[in-house]
């Protein structure tokens, strides 16, 4: 008779007959007001709330954002009469909802509401139908809410109709009263709605490349997984689930798995058994779906994978989020703002490293956008969070959110973990060498700008392109006082050291410095080719100088740990007054090729180190910089526009740049809104041979989509490529 006569369950009156035992006819005979149908205005609501891209929304699920009203049209079995009938709306979340925990919310119709309160207004009425506008509080708990309607008839009793669809309520960065509000709507497209992007990796300014990544926050099951992770982090439903500060901190913890409890296990060995290399992943979707299927940490991840996962989960929940890469990142567990390098000298005068501090070639974390009502005024906006497990904070492995303003100004007492991120960016690299006369260790060189050299993120709404550094946005100024503000930066660091009761290292001042040294800029070189390291020396003084020079090309892993030395050169030269010389060390493919594939975490990384000592004055020159060769890039040929559900061919190709074959090869093709992830084993690629593979795929969602291809083999990991295409009806 009516579409939802079955939707009643709980009795809320003094009637003796349980509501569950009443038939629809008995309900009407007892004069009850029966809800027969609810229209959620689904298409319009999803569009207005910017939730129309979620797969579950397209399948009929209502998803709204808090602090923003939505419409419901309710149909009863008889005409609604305000004098006779009363209706109340009930929203509950969690297993044991309580008003005191803001998880049991009840309200009726009202003429007005306030942003921080729940409410409902009567908009219109027509016959047996009324349309109401429901307003979730701007600070309500984020999650999946049970929705019920309680009807009361004067003198008859009350009933709750509770078998309606659950309602997803998310953070609202479009809502001015929400803690995650972001005024710039173009930025919201990037930091909330964009489901693809790229993450910068490499070794600093000259060796930066972009790794395409599919975030896939709207794909099947991803929103449910994000909400599941949030619930797991809080253990039980609580008011803190309304705070983006607390939610972000919890998500950072549940993404990583130092205790085998999170989404992903960090890779820190050479053994990839029962898992995938971190470089093999090209998106978050497969990782999250594998985790939810198995409830076991997925193997294996590294910082960029953790960051990609966190971006996916935050954007799914409505928290603006971006990936951030810091090049030459200090891992300073002692918080002393110094990376100490100890130099030795052999009997021939050759200088070498005895011990070096822990500096990662690059480290990827995230920024999340939110206001900070828990801090003094002025710390709103971007907050740094780091999902890679490094050090425990408050007893758990997590880091942030830390306000960028506090990091920049060295205000390390502003929560959370600001001191740790500050030290990753601002430490000095201090070189020590034993004085052969006094026998004491002395500081011979201090590099004040070695750490946190560049901090990059993707330029908003920029399409991924070639394999170099196109589309990057330099946000170093957001994190550090640099370029022209060196005195201010030193003051900030000194204030930090004073708070931490530390002393800033000072270089020994008794050395005369009359020889100039300079290293030539290195050009981009494709793997498989040779390159030069060129040292320029000039004696500016009036006396002859004898200089011992040591040049090293060291192979390191992602964490800066030495794998081996592929080439070294030691030269002793006399320099007459005003005389100049150039020292060149050539690094050939046969020098570094044996190290290919030794680091499963990243592409082949090198560290160029030059040490020069002037015999007469003990003057020291030190150069230490990271370097990466260029890698081949996958070309993906696809039509620029395809029709949804049509089979389409993707042609993927590249040229092997090496003199040796590529072996144990696999190819993966994935994208958001496509039928599935394609992963196949492919044939070996001969030396300097052309690789080409064709894969048929199907687009299942309309819109602009990114295809990401990843090729990995024994010799060259992380060969990637991407292509944009439009899927239409």
Alpha helices in 256-373 (DSSP H): 285-294, 303-317
Distance CA 186, CA 556 (A): 40
Task: Exactly one of 303, 398, 553, 566 is catalytic; name it.
Answer: 303
Distance CA 308, CA 387 (A): 10
- The torsion angles phi and psi of 273, rounded to 5 degrees, stand at -60, 140
Apex 631 CA angle, 630 and 632, nearest 5: 130
- Looking up tokens 């011990």 gives 355
Q: 37: which strand partners? A: 75
Distance CA 305, CA 213 (A): 9
Which helix (H) or strand (E) covers residue 670, if one does? Answer: strand 665-671
Task: Exactly one of 178, 332, 367, 386 is catalytic; name it.
Answer: 386
Apex 169 CA angle, 166 and 173, nearest 5: 160
b/e 374-409 (16+ beta carbons within 10 angstroms → b): ebeeebbbbbbbbbbbbeebeeebbbbbbbbbbbbb
Cα 49 to Cα 53, 67, 167, 333, 359: the distances in Å are: 10, 10, 13, 43, 44
CB 390 within 8 A of CB 419: no
- 521 CB burial (10 A radius; 0-12, 13-18, 19+): exposed
DSSP 174: T
Q: Is the dihedral of CA 236, 242, 246, 247 positive or negative?
A: positive
Residue 293 annotated among the catalytic residues of the structure: no
Question: Cα 134 to chain center, whole Å?
Answer: 34
Distance CA 525, CA 529 (A): 7
Q: Is 335 left (phi over 0), alpha (psi -120 to 50) or beta?
A: left
DSSP 662: B
CB 650 within 8 A of CB 721: no
CB 171 within 8 A of CB 180: yes
Summary count for the chain: helices (H), strands (E): 13, 42
CB 332 within 8 A of CB 207: no
Q: Shortest CA distance to 370 belongs to which of 187, 184, 143, 173?
A: 173
Q: Shortest CA distance to 716 belongs to which of 467, 384, 521, 391?
A: 467
Distance CA 561, CA 601 (A): 12
End-to-end CA distance of the chain: 37
Q: Shortest CA distance to 555 belongs to which of 506, 514, 604?
A: 604
Distance CA 508, CA 621 (A): 13
> DSSP states of 449-502 as a string?
TSSS-EEEEEPTTPPP-SSSSTTEEE-HHHH---SS-HHHHHHHHHHHHHHTT-
Distance CA 241, CA 632 (A): 45
Task: Exactly one of 363, 445, 496, 558 is catalytic; name it.
Answer: 363
> DSSP states of 583-638 as a string?
EEEEE-HHHHGGGTTS-TTSS-EEEEEEEEEETTT--EEEEEEEEE-B----EEE-
Residue 363 annotated among the catalytic residues of the structure: yes
Residue 303 annotated among the catalytic residues of the structure: yes
Long-range contacts of 539-542 (CB under 8 A, 24+ apart): 539/514, 539/515, 539/575, 539/576, 539/577, 539/578, 539/579, 539/580, 540/514, 540/515, 540/516, 540/578, 541/514, 541/515, 541/577, 542/577
Cα 396 to Cα 170, 268, 297: the distances in Å are: 26, 20, 17
Active-site residue list:
303, 363, 386
């Amino acid at each position: 008779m009516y579409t939802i006569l079955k939707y009643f369950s709980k009795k809320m009156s003094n009637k003796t007959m349980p509501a569950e035992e009443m038939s629809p006819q008995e309900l009407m005979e007892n004069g009850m007001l029966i809800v027969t149908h609810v229209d959620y205005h689904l298409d319009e609501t999803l569009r207005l709330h910017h939730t129309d891209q979620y797969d579950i929304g397209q399948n009929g699920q209502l998803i709204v954002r808090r602090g923003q009203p939505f419409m419901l049209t309710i149909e009863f079995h008889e005409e609604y009469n305000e004098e006779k009938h009363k209706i109340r709306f009930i929203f509950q979340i969690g297993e044991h909802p309580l008003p005191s925990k803001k998880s049991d919310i009840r309200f009726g119709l009202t003429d007005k509401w306030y942003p921080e309160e729940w409410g409902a207004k009567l908009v219109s009425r027509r016959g047996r139908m009324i349309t109401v506008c429901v307003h979730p509080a701007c600070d309500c708990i984020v999650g999946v809410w049970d929705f019920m309607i309680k009807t009361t008839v004067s003198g008859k009793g009350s009933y709750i109709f509770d078998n309606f669809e659950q309602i997803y309520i998310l953070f609202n960065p479009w809502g001015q009263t929400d803690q995650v509000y972001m005024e710039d709507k173009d930025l919201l497209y990037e930091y909330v709605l964009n489901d693809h992007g790229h993450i910068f990796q490499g070794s600093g300014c000259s060796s930066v490349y972009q790794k395409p990544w599919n975030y896939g926050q709207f794909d099947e099951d991803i929103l449910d997984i994000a909400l599941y992770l949030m619930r797991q982090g809080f253990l039980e439903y609580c008011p803190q689930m309304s705070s983006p500060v607390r939610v972000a901190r919890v998500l950072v913890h549940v993404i990583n798995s130092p205790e085998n409890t999170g989404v992903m296990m960090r890779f820190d060995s050479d053994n990839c058994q029962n898992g995938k290399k971190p470089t093999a992943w090209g998106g978050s979707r497969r990782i999250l779906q594998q985790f939810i299927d198995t409830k076991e940490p997925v193997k294996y991840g590294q910082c960029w994978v953790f960051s990609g996962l966190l971006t996916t989960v935050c954007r799914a929940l409505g928290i603006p989020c971006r990936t951030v890469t810091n090049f030459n990142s200090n891992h300073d567990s002692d918080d002393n703002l110094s990376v100490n390098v100890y130099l030795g000298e052999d009997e021939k005068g050759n200088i070498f490293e005895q011990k070096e501090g822990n500096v990662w070639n690059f480290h990827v974390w995230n920024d999340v956008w939110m206001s900070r009502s828990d801090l003094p005024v002025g710390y709103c906006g971007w907050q740094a969070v780091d999902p890679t497990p490094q050090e425990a904070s408050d007893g758990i492995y997590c880091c942030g959110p830390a306000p960028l303003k506090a990091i920049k100004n060295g205000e390390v007492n502003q929560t959370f973990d600001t001191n740790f991120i500050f030290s990753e960016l601002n430490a000095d690299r201090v070189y020590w060498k034993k004085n052969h006369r006094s026998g004491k260790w002395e500081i011979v060189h201090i590099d004040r700008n070695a750490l946190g050299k560049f901090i990059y993120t993707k330029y908003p709404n920029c399409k991924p392109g070639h394999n170099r550094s196109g589309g990057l946005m330099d946000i170093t100024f957001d994190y550090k006082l640099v370029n022209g503000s060196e005195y201010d930066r030193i003051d900030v660091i000194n204030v930090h050291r004073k708070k931490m009761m530390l002393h800033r290292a000072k270089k020994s001042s008794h050395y005369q410095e009359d020889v100039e040294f300079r290293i030539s800029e290195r050009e981009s070189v494709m793997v498989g080719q040779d390159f030069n390291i060129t040292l320029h020396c000039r004696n500016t003084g009036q006396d002859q100088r004898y200089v011992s020079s040591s040049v090293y090309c060291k192979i390191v892993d992602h964490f800066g740990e030495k794998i081996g030395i592929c080439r070294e050169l030691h030269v002793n030269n006399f320099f007459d007054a005003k005389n100049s010389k150039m020292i060149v060390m050539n690094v050939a493919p046969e020098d570094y090729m044996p190290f290919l594939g030794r680091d499963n975490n990243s592409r082949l990384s090198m560290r160029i180190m030059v040490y020069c000592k002037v015999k007469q004055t003990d003057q020291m020159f030190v150069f230490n910089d990271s370097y990466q060769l260029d890698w081949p890039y996958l070309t993906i040929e696809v039509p620029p526009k395809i029709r949804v559900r049509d089979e389409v061919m993707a042609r993927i190709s590249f040229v092997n740049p090496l003199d040796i074959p590529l072996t144990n090869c696999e190819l993966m093709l994935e994208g958001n809104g496509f039928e599935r992830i394609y992963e196949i084993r492919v044939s070996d690629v001969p030396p300097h041979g052309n690789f080409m593979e064709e894969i048929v795929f199907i687009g299942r969602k309309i819109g602009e989509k990114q295809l990401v291809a990843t090729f990995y083999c024994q010799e060259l990991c992380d060969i990637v490529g991407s292509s944009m295409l439009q899927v239409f009806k």
